[in-house]
Every structure is written in C-alpha cells, then in structure tokens.
C-alpha cells in the first residue's frame, strides 16, 4: 500500500476502474490515439452516472482539502494587510485631528495670554 499521505485509498486508481485490456485498434485513428484518451473514451462509454458522481465528489473533496491550507494563508494575509491599511488611515486621521486640536488650543491660549497682557498693561498705564 502506498504510504503517501496525499494518497486516498478510498479513491479507485485507474487500474482498478479500467480492468480490461485495451481493445485492438480498429481504425488508423485509434492506433495513434494516446492511451489517456483511450481510457477517457472508454470511461465515458461505460461509467454510470453514479460512478461519475462518486468520482466528482471524491475529487472535489481532495482538491478542497489540498487548497484549504493555501486559502487560509491567503485569507490571513489579506486580513492582515487590510487591518494594517485601516490602522494606518486611522492613525493618520487621529494625528491630523490631534494636531488641529492642539493648534486650536494653543491659538486660544496665546490669544487669552495676549489679551490679559494688554489688559494688564492698560491698567498699569492708567
């Protein structure tokens, strides 16, 4: 038995599915037809709908299982990138708001200080 973890023993291999020897070619086109195409043609001619459904389900399950790790990695990377972009935009907005607020507060403080100093100078001059 194959010890390869990617090998699923529940999926029949081609030699189990096609057990008959290939028929002798009847035409010149069959003689040049590749073995894979001959096997495909024979499967199309002989397999039942249920056999095709079972094969489709098993192949789908294997492909999804093999892709799951890749999908998880790509999804995680995209979420990480989107979060980094969102955090960067939020930080830029926060910095701009903070700078604006500080400038406004500093302007008010300077204006009050100047007004108080003018008032103080005016009271001294009287």
pTM for this one? 0.42
44-72 per-residue burial string, b: 16 or more CB within 10 A, e: under 16: eeeeeeeeeeeeeeeeeeeeeeeeeeeee
pLDDT band at 22 (very low <50, low <70, confident <90, very high): low
CA distance linking residue 78 with residue 51, whole number of Å: 39
Confidence (pLDDT) at 28: 44
| Sequence-ordered alpha helix ranges (H) in the chain | 14-17, 28-32, 35-46, 49-125
CA distance linking residue 77 with residue 66, whole number of Å: 18
């Amino acid at each position: 038995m194959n010890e390869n973890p990617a090998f699923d023993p529940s999926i029949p291999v081609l030699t189990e599915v096609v057990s008959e020897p290939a028929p002798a070619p009847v035409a010149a086109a069959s003689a040049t037809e590749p073995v894979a195409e001959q096997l495909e043609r024979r499967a199309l001619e002989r397999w039942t709908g249920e056999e095709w459904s079972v094969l489709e389900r098993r192949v789908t399950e294997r492909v999804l299982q093999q892709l799951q790790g890749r999908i998880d990695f790509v999804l995680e990377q995209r979420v990480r990138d989107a979060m980094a972009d969102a955090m960067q935009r939020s930080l830029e907005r926060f910095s701009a708001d903070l700078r604006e607020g500080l400038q406004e507060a500093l302007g008010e403080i300077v204006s009050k200080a100047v007004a108080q100093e003018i008032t103080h100078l005016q009271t001294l001059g009287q």
